[in-house]
C-alpha cells in the first residue's frame, strides 16, 4: 500500500471513534449545557458558582478526597497486582473474577453494605457514618480491581529475562524493581490511577449514602441542583466546572503518558508467570489473598447474608419473590437479569471496537493530536451522568429518534466502557518495538496485515481485559441508565435501586437478593473471559 493509501486508512479508522464520541457524547453534553445557560430566567454563571463559599468547599473536598482515594488505592492494590501478574497458582482465574465483582456493584447497594459493616451496629464495633474515612474505604473497595487488573496485565507481560540479566550482574531485588520493573509498569500504574481518580472525583452514590450530605462532591451537588432544587442553570454551571477540572487533569496525564511511553520486550503469560516454590513466596501470596478477602469480601458477604435473612429466619424467600410480578418494577424483578445481559453484550462489542481504534489512533498520532484525542476518550468518565442523561433526552431526537430505542442503552454504557479498553491496550501498543512492524513491512506486508499479524496478537490480551471491564461496567451502570431506561425494561441496578427506595424489609431483602444475582452473573462473565484468554494465549 502506498503512503497516501496508508494515510487514508489511518484517517478513516480514526474517524470512527471521533464520530462516535462526537455524536453520542459531545453533542448531548453541549445541548444540555446550552439549554441550561439559555433557559428562561437563567441568572447563574460559572463565575457565580466559583465565588460561592459553599461550592468552593465542595470543589476542594471533591479534589482532595479523589487524590487521597487514588493514592490509597494504588498503594493497597499494587501487592495484589504483583501476585496476580507474576505468579501462577490454582484458582487464579477465579480470584481475578472475584476481585472484579466489587467494581460493578451499584453504589446504592455498596453504600448500604458499608453502613451495615461500619455503622453503629456493625461487627467491627465502630461508627464511621458521615466521616470521610468511610468514603475513602468505599472508594478503595470499588477501585481496587482497576489497579489490580490493569497493572497486573502489564506485569504479566514483562519479559523475565530483563530482570534475570540485571540480577546476574549483581543487582538486588530492590534495584531490579526500581530501575527495570517500575519504569516498564509505570505507564500502566498511571493509566489505572487516572481511572481511579476520575471515579473518585465524580463519585455520587458512595458520597450520597455514606456522606449523607455532610460531605458532598460536585457530582452530588449537580444532582441536588438538578433534581431537588430544579435549578438547571446552576447544575449546568457546576457541570462546566467539573468538565474544566477533569479536562485539565486528563490533558496533563495524556502528555505524561505520551512522554513516558516505552518499548519493551513482551512475553507470553506462560513465560512471565512462575509457580510459587519457596515458603516465602507462598506466604506472600497467602497474605495478599487474605487481605483481598477481608477488604472485598466483607461488604459482599454482608449483602449475601442479608439476602437470605427473612422475618422467618434463614431461607430463599427473597429469591423466590424475584419471580413474582412487582408493583414497584411493573414486571418480575428476575426479568432485569436478562435485560442487563442483552444490553451488556453489544455495549462490550461497541467499547472494544471503538476503544481499539481509538488506542491505535492515539498511538499513531502526532505529539499534539494524540493527547487531545486521549482526553476526549476519557471525558465520559469525568462527566456527570445526570447531565449526560438529560442530554440524551434533549438531543437524540433527530435525525433518528433514539430516545426510546433499545440501542441507546448499549451506546450509553459503551461511552463509559471505552476508556477502560483504551487505558488497558494503549500502554501495550506503545510498548511494541517498531522494528517488529518495520520487519513485517520490509517483507511486503500491508499496514492492515501488519496490524493483524503483529499488533493484534500482542494487544489481544489487553483488549480482553478491557472488554471484561466493559462488560462489568455495563452490568452495573446506574447513573445515565436511570434517565433513559424504559420503566418496563429495568436493568439490574435500576431494579435494585427501586426495591431499595421502597419502604419495607421485604423489598430490601429482595434488593439484596438481586444484588447477589448481579455479583454472580458478572463474576461468571468475567470468568469466561479469563478462560478464553488462557486458551488463546500465544508465544511472542
Report pLDDT digits (tens) over 374-410. Answer: 777 777 876 767 677 777 877 887 777 787 788 888 9
In a domain, 400, yes or no: yes
In this prediction, residue 350 has a pLDDT band, given cuts at 50, 70 and 90, of very high
Burial of 71 (0-12, 13-18, 19+ CB in 10 A): middle
- 526 close to 468: Cβ distance less than 8 angstroms: yes
pLDDT at 432 over 50: yes
pLDDT at 110 over 70: yes
Residue 3 grid coordinates: 503512503
Cα separation, 186 vs 151, in Å, equals 9
State percent of the chain over pLDDT 70: 73
In this prediction, residue 277 has a pLDDT band, given cuts at 50, 70 and 90, of confident
- Domain count of the fold of the chain: 1
What angle is formed at CA 229 by the lines to CA 223 and CA 235, rounded to 5 degrees? 45
Of the ranges 31-45, 72-86, 152-166, which is most confident?
72-86
In a domain, 313, yes or no: no
The predicted structure's pLDDT at residue 73: 94
CATH number at 197 reads 1.10.3720.10
Question: Cα 163 to the chain's mean position, in Å?
Answer: 31
In a domain, 277, yes or no: yes
Count CB-CB contacts under 10 A for residue 130: 13
In SS3 terms, 180-203 reads as HHHHHHHHHHHHHHHHHHHHHHCC
Closest CA to 12 of 25, 27, 28, 1: 1
Expressed in percent and rounded to 5, the helix, strand and coil fractions of the chain are 75, 0, 20
Domain of 292, in residue numbers: 3-28+41-303+318-535
The predicted structure's pLDDT at residue 436: 67
Count CB-CB contacts under 10 A for residue 359: 30
On average, the pLDDT of the chain sits at 76
Cα separation, 280 vs 283, in Å, equals 5
Closest CA to 530 of 464, 453, 476, 470: 464
Which of the two residues, 466 and 43, has the higher pLDDT score?
A: 466
Question: Cα 223 to the chain's mean position, in Å?
Answer: 21
In a domain, 308, yes or no: no
In this prediction, residue 4 has a pLDDT band, given cuts at 50, 70 and 90, of low
Helix (H, G, I), strand (E, B) or coil at 309: strand
Q: Which residue has the cell 436511570?
A: 482
Q: Which residue has the cell 459503551?
A: 414
In a domain, 36, yes or no: no
310-321 average pLDDT score: 82
15-34 average pLDDT score: 84
Which residues sit opposite 480 in a β-bridge? none
The model's pLDDT over 199-215, given as tens digits with 9 standing for 90+, comes to 888 887 788 777 766 77
- 230 close to 92: Cβ distance less than 8 angstroms: no
125-145 average pLDDT score: 83
Alpha-carbon distances, residue 179 vs 81, 184, 186, 530 (angstroms): 19, 9, 11, 31
pLDDT at 246 over 70: yes
DSSP string, 265-283: -B--HHHH-B---SHHHHH
The predicted structure's pLDDT at residue 319: 87
In this prediction, residue 539 has a pLDDT band, given cuts at 50, 70 and 90, of very low
pLDDT at 60 over 80: yes
Closest CA to 254 of 416, 145, 374, 167: 374
The predicted structure's pLDDT at residue 67: 92
The model's pLDDT over 147-203, given as tens digits with 9 standing for 90+, comes to 888 888 778 777 666 666 766 766 667 777 777 777 777 878 888 888 888 888 888
The predicted structure's pLDDT at residue 119: 65
- pTM, to two decimals: 0.71
Cα separation, 156 vs 165, in Å, equals 18
Helix (H, G, I), strand (E, B) or coil at 215: strand
In this prediction, residue 266 has a pLDDT band, given cuts at 50, 70 and 90, of very low
Cis upstream peptide for 399 (omega within 30°):
yes
In this prediction, residue 82 has a pLDDT band, given cuts at 50, 70 and 90, of confident
In a domain, 463, yes or no: yes
For residues 224-236, one letter each, b for 16 or more C-beta atoms within 10 angstroms of the residue's C-beta and e for the rest, the string is bbbeeeebbbbbb
Cα separation, 312 vs 146, in Å, equals 40
Cα separation, 269 vs 405, in Å, equals 42
- 515 close to 106: Cβ distance less than 8 angstroms: yes
In a domain, 18, yes or no: yes
Cα separation, 467 vs 348, in Å, equals 6
pLDDT at 92 over 60: yes
The predicted structure's pLDDT at residue 187: 79
Cα separation, 145 vs 472, in Å, equals 11
The predicted structure's pLDDT at residue 94: 80
In this prediction, residue 268 has a pLDDT band, given cuts at 50, 70 and 90, of very low
In a domain, 540, yes or no: no
The predicted structure's pLDDT at residue 121: 61
428-449 average pLDDT score: 68
Amino acid at each position: 500500500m502506498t503512503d497516501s493509501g496508508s494515510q487514508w486508512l489511518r484517517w478513516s479508522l480514526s474517524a470512527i471513534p471521533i464520530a462516535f464520541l462526537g455524536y453520542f457524547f459531545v453533542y448531548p453534553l453541549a445541548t444540555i449545557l446550552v439549554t441550561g445557560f439559555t433557559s428562561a430566567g437563567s441568572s447563574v454563571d460559572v463565575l457565580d458558582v466559583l465565588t460561592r463559599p459553599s461550592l468552593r468547599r465542595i470543589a476542594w473536598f471533591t479534589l482532595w478526597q479523589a487524590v487521597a482515594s487514588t493514592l490509597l488505592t494504588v498503594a493497597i492494590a499494587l501487592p495484589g497486582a504483583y501476585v496476580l501478574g507474576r505468579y501462577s497458582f490454582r484458582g487464579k482465574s477465579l480470584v481475578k473474577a472475584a476481585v472484579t465483582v466489587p467494581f460493578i456493584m451499584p453504589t446504592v447497594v455498596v453504600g448500604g453494605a458499608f453502613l451495615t459493616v461500619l455503622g453503629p451496629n456493625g461487627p467491627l464495633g465502630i461508627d464511621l457514618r458521615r466521616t470521610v474515612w468511610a468514603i475513602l474505604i468505599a472508594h478503595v473497595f470499588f477501585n481496587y480491581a482497576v489497579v489490580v487488573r490493569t497493572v497486573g496485565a502489564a506485569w504479566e507481560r514483562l519479559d523475565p529475562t530483563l530482570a534475570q540479566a540485571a540480577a546476574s550482574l549483581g543487582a538486588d531485588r530492590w534495584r531490579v524493581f526500581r530501575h527495570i520493573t517500575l519504569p516498564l509498569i509505570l505507564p500502566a500504574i498511571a493509566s489505572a490511577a487516572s481511572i481511579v481518580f476520575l471515579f473518585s472525583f465524580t463519585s455520587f452514590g458512595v458520597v450520597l449514602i455514606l456522606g449523607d450530605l455532610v460531605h458532598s462532591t460536585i457530582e452530588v451537588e449537580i444532582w441536588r441542583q438538578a433534581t431537588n432544587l430544579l435549578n438547571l442553570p446552576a447544575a449546568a454551571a457546576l457541570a462546566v466546572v467539573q468538565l474544566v477540572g477533569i479536562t485539565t487533569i486528563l490533558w496533563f496525564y495524556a502528555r505524561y503518558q505520551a512522554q513516558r511511553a516505552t518499548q519493551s520486550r513482551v512475553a507470553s503469560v506462560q513465560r512471565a508467570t512462575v509457580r510459587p516454590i519457596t515458603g516465602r513466596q507462598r506466604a506472600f501470596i497467602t497474605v495478599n489473598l487474605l487481605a483481598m478477602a477481608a477488604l472485598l469480601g466483607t461488604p459482599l458477604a454482608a449483602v449475601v447474608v442479608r439476602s437470605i435473612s427473612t422475618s422467618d429466619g434463614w431461607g430463599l424467600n427473597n429469591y423466590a419473590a424475584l419471580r413474582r410480578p412487582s408493583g414497584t418494577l411493573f414486571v418480575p424483578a428476575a426479568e432485569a437479569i436478562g435485560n442487563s445481559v442483552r444490553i451488556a453484550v453489544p455495549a462490550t462489542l461497541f467499547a472494544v471496537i471503538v476503544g481499539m481504534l481509538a488506542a491505535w489512533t492515539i498511538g499513531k498520532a502526532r505529539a499534539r493530536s494524540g493527547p487531545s484525542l486521549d482526553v476526549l476518550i476519557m471525558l465520559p468518565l469525568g462527566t456527570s451522568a445526570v447531565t449526560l442523561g438529560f442530554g440524551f433526552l434533549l438531543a437524540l431526537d433527530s435525525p433518528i429518534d433514539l430516545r426510546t430505542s433499545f440501542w441507546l442503552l448499549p451506546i450509553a454504557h459503551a461511552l463509559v466502557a471505552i476508556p477502560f479498553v483504551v487505558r488497558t491496550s494503549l500502554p501495550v501498543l506503545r510498548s511494541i518495538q517498531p522494528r517488529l512492524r518495520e520487519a513485517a513491512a520490509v517483507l511486503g506486508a500491508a499496514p492492515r496485515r501488519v496490524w493483524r499479524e503483529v499488533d493484534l496478537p500482542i494487544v489481544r490480551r489487553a483488549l480482553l481485559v478491557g472488554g471484561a471491564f466493559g462488560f462489568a461496567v455495563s452490568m452495573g451502570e446506574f447513573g445515565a441508565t436511570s434517565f433513559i431506561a424504559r420503566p418496563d425494561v429495568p436493568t439490574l441496578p435500576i431494579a435494585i435501586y427501586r426495591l431499595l427506595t421502597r419502604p419495607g424489609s421485604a423489598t430490601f431483602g429482595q434488593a439484596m437478593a438481586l444484588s447477589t444475582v448481579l455479583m454472580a452473573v458478572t463474576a461468571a462473565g468475567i470468568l469466561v473471559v479469563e478462560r478464553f484468554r488462557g486458551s488463546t494465549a500465544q508465544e511472542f
